[in-house]
């Protein structure tokens, strides 16, 4: 039996030698063993991938680590690193919002045993801060939000003290521009289309005058003008953390919210040229004010359309698309509006206490001061300061009381304008200048030298009719007007060919009697 088995094995071996193997198998057998094992492992891995259930995602090594250990690791990070970790993925976003870690960071800087950089202004604020330190059961992200709110406003007492210094020439805080720059305040425009998509644009550049700031947004790809639904303007203060600029946290304060659909109901854009009917629209809900949508400037490329609150929009004439957005703000309460509001609610100006006035309303107004500036985004055109303005009750007409600032009949009061009246603009690719258009910044102070009416807005200069022409001057006469619910302004300007210069020959300010009743609490 053993011999027969050996013979059979020998025959099988002989037959195996006589049958040639396929070339592919021969090549495979000639490869090293470790390479063959690697190929088998890859095939097994592919089979395993196909066998995985739908929706399965492969976990990285770091996500396999228990959350408790990850939290222990993240606890060694500072505020900037911890905030940045929240942008890695959903897991790290949840871990980076952990109340325990942010409470530890907050307590280390502002907690008990630490000296507050700014003392609370009231006892209620101190109690609220201590309550926040005592209670641990807070919603997720509470301590993270509290840390950012505190670090964003910890210099509030310092800049409020700086704003107490008043410029005797303008009647406004002297250090407004300085405070805005020190607090790293910028402004953002957010536009929403009719489908709900949002675009946010950072300011391109800003021009500071003696009583206002003019801001431009011209960079970026704007959505279609015809599809706009809402425009929101925010003041932004970036939190001083060492983070990437794209994810840097900031505090946003809503300054204006405009519903574009309502504003442009009476406006039509045909072939890039706008037809305007001056019908009032109500914007802003309960705090609505009547405005007029109107074209205030244009050149060969752009139409400039006034929306509201000093906000204008430049529209390409032949394409009816957005070229830029511009906003002008008076310095009065500008820092508070830019810093102390929330992302959804604007800053609420404290209620005004009616000043004591022992003069009978029948004698009208007295002791008022006016500061007015005409400028553009490059230079100042005219600046004037006028004091001891008075008005009689007999000068009330159609709900307005008149303050005569510059009289047409008094040539000694007439003031020259330096340069041409124009408004330069620029977009990403083009730039231009709108003739007979500029920015007017007006501040009217009452008899107690407190700001009474403050406005900054673009205005246009149009050819005057024969009724307003002064025959003392031989030249082209123009008219600059502005009106809102609080007052209106009328300026008469004449162009003299010989000196090649504009002269302001008449300036009248009208105050709404409704505003007077609200301000003084008495009938005028």
**Is the same domain home to 97 and 173?**
no
Which residue would you say has higher pLDDT here, 480 or 2? 480
Residue numbers of the domain that contains 103 = 62-160
Which residue would you say has higher pLDDT here, 365 or 269? 365
**Is the same domain home to 281 and 256?**
yes
**From CA 99, how far away is CA 380, in angstroms rounded?**
52
Given a cut of 80, is residue 185 above it in pLDDT?
A: yes
Given a cut of 90, is residue 225 above it in pLDDT?
A: no
**Is the same domain home to 367 and 460?**
yes
**From CA 517, how far away is CA 524, in angstroms rounded?**
7
**Is the same domain home to 176 and 130?**
no
**Is the same domain home to 310 and 403?**
no
What is the per-residue pLDDT for 498? Answer: 83
Q: Tell whether 56 is covered by a domain.
A: no
Point out the least confidently predicted range of 106-115, 158-167, 221-230.
106-115
Which residue would you say has higher pLDDT here, 253 or 140? 253
What is the per-residue pLDDT for 176? Answer: 96
What is the per-residue pLDDT for 139? Answer: 77
The pairs formed by 351-360 with CB atoms below 8 angstroms and a separation of 24 or more are: 352/519, 354/519, 354/520, 354/521, 354/522, 355/446, 355/447, 355/448, 355/450, 355/520, 357/447, 357/520, 357/522
Given a cut of 70, is residue 459 above it in pLDDT?
A: yes
Given a cut of 50, is residue 281 above it in pLDDT?
A: no
What is the per-residue pLDDT for 26? Answer: 38
Structural domain count, the chain = 3
Given a cut of 90, is residue 480 above it in pLDDT?
A: yes
Mean pLDDT of the chain: 78
What is the per-residue pLDDT for 363? Answer: 66
Tokens of 55: 């929706």
pLDDT tier, 435 (very low <50, low <70, confident <90, very high otherwise) = very high
Q: Which of 125, 160, 195 is the last residue of a domain?
A: 160
Which residue would you say has higher pLDDT here, 507 or 318? 507
Q: Tell whether 346 is covered by a domain.
A: no
Percent share of the chain, pLDDT over 70: 73
Given a cut of 90, is residue 47 above it in pLDDT?
A: no
Count of other CB atoms within 10 angstroms of residue 331: 28
Count of other CB atoms within 10 angstroms of residue 55: 5
Dihedral sign (CA 253, 330, 219, 312): positive
Q: Tell whether 454 is covered by a domain.
A: yes
**Is the same domain home to 266 and 318?**
yes
The pTM of this model reads: 0.73
**Is the same domain home to 179 and 153?**
no
**Is the same domain home to 244 and 365?**
no
Q: Which of 132, 160, 188 is the last residue of a domain?
A: 160
Q: Tell whether 10 is covered by a domain.
A: no
Q: Tell whether 27 is covered by a domain.
A: no
The average pLDDT across 501-523 equals 88
**Is the same domain home to 400 and 449?**
yes
Point out the least confidently predicted range of 73-82, 114-123, 419-428.
114-123
Given a cut of 90, is residue 237 above it in pLDDT?
A: no
**Is the same domain home to 298 and 379?**
no
What is the per-residue pLDDT for 457? Answer: 94
Q: Which of 111, 140, 160 is the last residue of a domain?
A: 160
**Is the same domain home to 96 and 121?**
yes
Question: CB-hemisphere CA count at 13 Å for 37?
Answer: 3
Judged by DSSP in three states, 450 sits in: coil
Q: What is the pLDDT of residues 86-138, one digit of tens each?
A: 888 888 888 888 888 888 888 887 765 454 444 444 434 544 554 555 445 67
pLDDT tier, 398 (very low <50, low <70, confident <90, very high otherwise) = confident
**Is the same domain home to 494 and 393?**
yes
CATH number, domain containing residue 74:
1.20.1280
Which residues are CB-neighbours of 129 under 8 A, at least 6 positions away? 110, 120
Q: Tell whether 353 is covered by a domain.
A: no
pLDDT tier, 419 (very low <50, low <70, confident <90, very high otherwise) = confident
Q: Tell whether 444 is covered by a domain.
A: yes
Q: Tell whether 111 is covered by a domain.
A: yes
What is the per-residue pLDDT for 279? Answer: 34
């Amino acid at each position: 039996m053993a011999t027969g088995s050996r013979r059979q094995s020998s025959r099988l071996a002989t037959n195996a030698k006589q049958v040639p193997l396929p070339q592919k198998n021969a090549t495979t057998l000639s490869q090293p063993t470790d390479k063959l094992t690697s190929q088998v492992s890859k095939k097994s891995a592919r089979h395993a991938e196909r066998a995985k259930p739908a929706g399965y995602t492969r976990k990285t090594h770091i996500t396999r680590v228990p959350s408790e250990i990850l939290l222990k690791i993240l606890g060694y990070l500072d505020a900037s690193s911890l905030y940045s970790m929240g942008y890695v993925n959903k897991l790290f976003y949840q871990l980076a919002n952990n109340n325990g870690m942010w409470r530890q960071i907050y307590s280390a800087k502002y907690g008990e045993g630490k000296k507050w950089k700014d003392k609370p202004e009231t006892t209620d604020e101190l109690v609220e801060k201590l309550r926040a330190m005592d209670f641990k059961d807070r919603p997720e992200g509470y301590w993270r939000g509290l840390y950012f709110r505190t670090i964003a406003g910890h210099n509030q007492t310092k800049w409020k003290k700086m704003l107490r210094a008043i410029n005797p020439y303008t009647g406004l805080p002297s250090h407004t521009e300085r405070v805005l720059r020190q607090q790293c305040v910028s402004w953002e425009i957010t536009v929403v289309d009719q489908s709900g998509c949002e675009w946010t644009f950072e300011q391109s550049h800003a021009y500071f005058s003696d009583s206002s700031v003019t801001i431009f947004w011209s960079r970026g790809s704007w959505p279609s003008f015809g599809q706009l639904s809402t425009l929101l303007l925010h003041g932004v203060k970036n939190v001083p953390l060492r983070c990437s600029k794209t994810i840097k946290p900031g505090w946003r304060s809503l300054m204006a919210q405009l519903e574009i659909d309502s504003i442009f109901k009476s406006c039509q854009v045909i072939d890039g040229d706008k037809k305007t009917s001056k019908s009032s629209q109500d914007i802003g809900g309960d705090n609505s004010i009547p405005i007029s949508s109107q074209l205030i400037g244009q050149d060969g490329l752009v139409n400039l359309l006034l929306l509201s609150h000093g906000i204008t929009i430049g529209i390409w004439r032949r394409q009816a698309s957005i070229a830029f957005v511009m906003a002008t703000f008076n310095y009065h309460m500008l820092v508070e509006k830019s810093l102390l509001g929330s992302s959804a609610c604007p800053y609420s100006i404290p209620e005004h206490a009616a000043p004591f006035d022992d003069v009978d309303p029948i004698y009208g107004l007295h002791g008022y001061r006016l500061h007015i500036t005409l400028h553009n985004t490059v230079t100042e055109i005219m600046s004037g300061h006028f004091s001891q303005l008075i008005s009689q009750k007999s000068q009330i007409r159609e709900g307005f009381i008149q303050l005569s600032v510059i009289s047409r009949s008094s040539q000694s009061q007439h003031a020259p304008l330096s340069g041409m009246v124009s408004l330069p603009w620029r977009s990403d690719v083009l730039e231009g200048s709108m003739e007979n258009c500029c920015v007017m910044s007006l501040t009217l102070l009452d008899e107690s030298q407190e700001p009474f009416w403050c406005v900054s807005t673009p205005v246009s200069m149009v050819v005057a009719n024969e009724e307003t022409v002064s025959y003392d001057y031989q030249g082209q006469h123009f008219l600059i007007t502005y009106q809102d619910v609080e007052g209106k302004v009328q300026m008469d300007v004449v162009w003299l060919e010989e000196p090649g210069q504009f002269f302001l020959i008449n300036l009248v300010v009208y105050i709404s009697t409704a505003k007077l009743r609200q301000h003084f609490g008495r009938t005028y």
